[in-house]
Structure 1
Amino acid sequence: MGIVYLASLLTGIGCMLLLDHRFRLFFWRDAKAAAIVTVVGVLFLLGWDLSGIALGIFLRGEGAIATGVLIAPELPLEEPVFLLFLVLCTMVLFTGARRMLAALPTRSASEDRERENA
């Protein structure tokens, strides 16, 4: 039971990568840029977590679904995996939303004036 959370995170990462692959949104659009963004994002958030831990703001909660493995004081093994999922999910959603918005038909200024006058 102690691996459920980690397995769920890895499954979520796999699902995000499948979605990314299907629509060529992030890693399958530009792997080098995606890798840089992912590493920088995870390191930033990990630094944020470590700062919060050092200040006594973030504490590790006990949970039956977690592995219980710590990679640093108050920093469970699942945290960097969660941060990876968070960055990947954010970038897939962002690039997908950009693509959807770009596909919307644009209105010309004359169409806007016609709507205002109607």
Structure 2
Amino acid sequence: MDDSRRHPRTRPATEPAQVRVVAVRGEIDAASAVRLGEELLGLPPGGPVVVDLREVGHLSAAGVRVLRGLAGGGRLAVVVGPAAALVLRAAGGHDVFDLHLSLEDATRSWS
């Protein structure tokens, strides 16, 4: 199996002033959710965070818990693709953080 699809990868994306954007791709399962959580918690303190999950093919319950934990610490918006949207809506994620279909909408939500 292609290792890049099995483990989530984060990378900084273009960021409007004060909004931190983290793009994630691959699969977020129980094992990789721990690493994702560490990377997200390791972000420098600052303004709201946008997590872009459009390139995530699988999002496990462990991944949802990581996002919920981050949402508890401040403002969080999530950009969803088809796979993440189904899981987050079923898990009630839309009650915890803002879900968006585009990065532009997510970053604009704090304007």
Q: TM-score range by the shorter chain?
A: under 0.3
Q: How does the TM-score come out when normalised to structure 1?
A: 0.23
Say which one has the larger Rg.
1
Question: Which one has the bigger helix percentage?
Answer: 1
Q: How does the TM-score come out when normalised to structure 2?
A: 0.24
Q: Which has the higher contact order (CA 8 A, sep 6+)?
A: 1
Question: Which one has the bigger strand percentage?
Answer: 2
